[in-house]
Amino acid sequence: MTRRKILRYPDPRLLTVAKPVTRIDDALRRLIDDMTETMYGSGGIGLAATQIDVHQRVIVMDVSQKRDQLVVLINPVILAAGGSASHDEGCLSVPGTTIRVRRPAWIQVQALDREGDLFEVRADDWEAVCIQHEIEHLDGIVFTDYLPVAQQEKLRKQLATAGNRRR
Protein backbone atom coordinates (compact mmCIF):
# COMPACT_ATOMS: atom_id res chain seq x y z
CA MET A 1 0.00 0.00 0.00
CA THR A 2 1.15 3.48 -0.81
CA ARG A 3 0.02 6.78 0.62
CA ARG A 4 -0.72 9.05 -2.33
CA LYS A 5 -0.54 12.81 -2.62
CA ILE A 6 -3.87 14.58 -2.20
CA LEU A 7 -4.75 17.31 -4.71
CA ARG A 8 -5.31 20.71 -3.13
CA TYR A 9 -7.99 23.20 -4.07
CA PRO A 10 -7.90 25.14 -6.42
CA ASP A 11 -6.18 22.41 -8.47
CA PRO A 12 -8.26 22.20 -11.68
CA ARG A 13 -7.97 18.39 -11.67
CA LEU A 14 -10.48 18.42 -8.78
CA LEU A 15 -13.08 19.57 -11.34
CA THR A 16 -12.83 16.32 -13.34
CA VAL A 17 -15.97 14.17 -13.51
CA ALA A 18 -14.98 10.57 -12.69
CA LYS A 19 -16.00 7.64 -14.91
CA PRO A 20 -17.84 4.56 -13.67
CA VAL A 21 -15.67 1.56 -12.82
CA THR A 22 -16.11 -1.19 -15.42
CA ARG A 23 -13.75 -3.87 -14.04
CA ILE A 24 -13.20 -4.88 -10.46
CA ASP A 25 -9.79 -6.48 -10.62
CA ASP A 26 -6.51 -6.51 -8.69
CA ALA A 27 -5.49 -3.12 -10.08
CA LEU A 28 -8.71 -1.60 -8.73
CA ARG A 29 -8.21 -3.31 -5.36
CA ARG A 30 -4.68 -1.86 -5.23
CA LEU A 31 -6.18 1.58 -5.85
CA ILE A 32 -8.64 0.96 -2.99
CA ASP A 33 -5.77 -0.08 -0.70
CA ASP A 34 -3.82 3.06 -1.58
CA MET A 35 -6.88 5.22 -0.97
CA THR A 36 -7.43 3.50 2.38
CA GLU A 37 -3.85 4.16 3.46
CA THR A 38 -4.09 7.76 2.23
CA MET A 39 -7.35 8.37 4.12
CA TYR A 40 -6.18 6.86 7.42
CA GLY A 41 -2.70 8.40 7.03
CA SER A 42 -4.17 11.88 6.69
CA GLY A 43 -6.85 11.47 9.37
CA GLY A 44 -9.81 11.90 7.04
CA ILE A 45 -13.23 10.25 7.43
CA GLY A 46 -13.52 9.75 3.67
CA LEU A 47 -11.64 10.00 0.40
CA ALA A 48 -12.76 10.10 -3.22
CA ALA A 49 -10.43 8.79 -5.96
CA THR A 50 -10.64 12.23 -7.59
CA GLN A 51 -8.59 13.62 -4.69
CA ILE A 52 -5.59 11.46 -5.64
CA ASP A 53 -6.03 12.32 -9.33
CA VAL A 54 -7.67 9.02 -10.30
CA HIS A 55 -10.91 9.74 -12.10
CA GLN A 56 -12.89 6.60 -11.39
CA ARG A 57 -15.99 6.40 -9.22
CA VAL A 58 -14.46 4.97 -6.03
CA ILE A 59 -14.91 6.16 -2.42
CA VAL A 60 -13.46 4.91 0.85
CA MET A 61 -14.73 6.08 4.21
CA ASP A 62 -14.69 5.34 7.92
CA VAL A 63 -16.83 7.47 10.21
CA SER A 64 -16.34 5.22 13.25
CA GLN A 65 -14.68 6.46 16.45
CA LYS A 66 -12.29 3.52 16.54
CA ARG A 67 -11.36 3.86 12.85
CA ASP A 68 -12.03 0.18 12.24
CA GLN A 69 -15.14 0.32 10.03
CA LEU A 70 -13.88 0.82 6.50
CA VAL A 71 -16.57 1.17 3.83
CA VAL A 72 -15.76 1.01 0.12
CA LEU A 73 -18.27 2.35 -2.40
CA ILE A 74 -17.78 1.77 -6.12
CA ASN A 75 -20.13 3.50 -8.59
CA PRO A 76 -22.32 4.84 -5.76
CA VAL A 77 -25.84 6.02 -6.59
CA ILE A 78 -28.19 7.91 -4.28
CA LEU A 79 -31.57 6.17 -4.62
CA ALA A 80 -33.49 8.34 -2.16
CA ALA A 81 -32.85 11.24 0.18
CA GLY A 82 -34.80 13.11 2.78
CA GLY A 83 -34.76 15.59 5.60
CA SER A 84 -32.32 18.44 5.91
CA ALA A 85 -29.37 19.12 8.19
CA SER A 86 -26.32 21.44 8.36
CA HIS A 87 -22.85 20.36 9.38
CA ASP A 88 -19.48 22.07 9.49
CA GLU A 89 -17.58 20.20 6.83
CA GLY A 90 -13.87 19.90 6.28
CA CYS A 91 -12.00 18.60 3.24
CA LEU A 92 -8.54 17.13 2.89
CA SER A 93 -8.26 19.05 -0.40
CA VAL A 94 -9.06 22.36 1.33
CA PRO A 95 -6.87 22.25 4.45
CA GLY A 96 -7.66 24.55 7.34
CA THR A 97 -11.13 25.46 6.13
CA THR A 98 -14.55 24.42 7.39
CA ILE A 99 -17.75 25.35 5.66
CA ARG A 100 -21.30 24.89 6.95
CA VAL A 101 -23.25 22.96 4.33
CA ARG A 102 -26.96 22.08 4.35
CA ARG A 103 -27.82 18.73 2.82
CA PRO A 104 -30.45 16.00 3.00
CA ALA A 105 -30.17 14.40 6.47
CA TRP A 106 -30.46 10.81 5.24
CA ILE A 107 -29.80 9.00 2.00
CA GLN A 108 -30.36 5.54 0.62
CA VAL A 109 -27.31 4.53 -1.42
CA GLN A 110 -26.52 1.68 -3.76
CA ALA A 111 -22.95 0.75 -4.63
CA LEU A 112 -20.60 -2.13 -5.39
CA ASP A 113 -18.21 -3.38 -2.72
CA ARG A 114 -14.57 -4.39 -3.34
CA GLU A 115 -15.68 -7.84 -4.51
CA GLY A 116 -18.07 -6.27 -7.04
CA ASP A 117 -21.19 -7.24 -5.10
CA LEU A 118 -24.07 -4.78 -5.10
CA PHE A 119 -25.21 -3.53 -1.71
CA GLU A 120 -27.51 -0.88 -0.31
CA VAL A 121 -27.09 1.24 2.77
CA ARG A 122 -29.28 3.81 4.46
CA ALA A 123 -27.00 6.46 5.92
CA ASP A 124 -27.61 9.34 8.28
CA ASP A 125 -25.55 11.70 10.46
CA TRP A 126 -21.87 11.90 9.45
CA GLU A 127 -22.13 8.88 7.21
CA ALA A 128 -24.75 10.66 5.08
CA VAL A 129 -22.70 13.88 5.08
CA CYS A 130 -19.54 12.03 4.10
CA ILE A 131 -21.08 9.99 1.28
CA GLN A 132 -22.67 13.11 -0.24
CA HIS A 133 -19.40 15.06 0.10
CA GLU A 134 -17.46 12.22 -1.59
CA ILE A 135 -19.96 11.72 -4.44
CA GLU A 136 -19.65 15.44 -5.15
CA HIS A 137 -15.87 15.02 -5.51
CA LEU A 138 -16.55 12.28 -8.09
CA ASP A 139 -18.72 14.80 -9.93
CA GLY A 140 -16.00 17.45 -9.88
CA ILE A 141 -17.64 19.47 -7.13
CA VAL A 142 -15.74 20.82 -4.12
CA PHE A 143 -17.66 22.12 -1.08
CA THR A 144 -16.25 25.60 -1.70
CA ASP A 145 -18.87 25.75 -4.47
CA TYR A 146 -21.38 26.44 -1.65
CA LEU A 147 -19.63 29.72 -0.75
CA PRO A 148 -20.54 33.03 -2.36
CA VAL A 149 -18.28 33.62 -5.39
CA ALA A 150 -16.42 36.51 -3.71
CA GLN A 151 -15.45 34.24 -0.81
CA GLN A 152 -14.41 31.47 -3.19
CA GLU A 153 -12.11 33.94 -4.91
CA LYS A 154 -10.57 35.01 -1.61
CA LEU A 155 -10.04 31.42 -0.48
CA ARG A 156 -8.50 30.47 -3.83
CA LYS A 157 -5.94 33.25 -3.44
CA GLN A 158 -5.16 32.35 0.18
CA LEU A 159 -4.71 28.65 -0.56
CA ALA A 160 -2.74 29.20 -3.75
CA THR A 161 0.02 30.81 -1.65
CA ALA A 162 -0.40 28.60 1.45
CA GLY A 163 -0.30 25.48 -0.73
CA ASN A 164 2.85 26.59 -2.53
CA ARG A 165 4.63 27.19 0.74
CA ARG A 166 3.79 23.71 2.02
CA ARG A 167 4.98 21.90 -1.11
Among the listed ranges 16-24, 78-86, 89-97, 152-160, the one in contact with ligand GNR (CB under 6 A) is 89-97
**134 tagged catalytic:** yes
State the residue number with the nearest CB to ligand GNR. 44
Closest CA to 117 of 30, 24, 29, 39: 24
Which does residue 130 bind out of ligand GNR, Ni ion, none, counting CB within 5 to 8 angstroms by kind?
ligand GNR
> Is 74 within 8 Å of 57 (Cβ atoms)?
yes
Q: Note whether 47 binds ligand GNR by CB under 6 A.
A: yes
Least distance (Å) between residue 44 CB and ligand GNR: 3
Least distance (Å) between residue 80 CB and ligand GNR: 21
Closest CA to 72 of 56, 83, 90, 87: 56
Least distance (Å) between residue 154 CB and ligand GNR: 20
Amino acid (one-letter) located at 61? M
Nearer to Ni ion, 24 or 143 (CB): 143
Residues 6+ apart with CB under 8 A from 123: 106, 107, 108, 109, 131
SS3 content of the chain, % helix, strand, coil (to 5): 35, 25, 35
Among the listed ranges 32-40, 85-93, 111-119, 159-167, the one in contact with Ni ion (CB under 5 A) is 85-93
Task: Find the binder of ligand GNR among 91, 99, 107, 159 (CB under 6 A).
Answer: 91
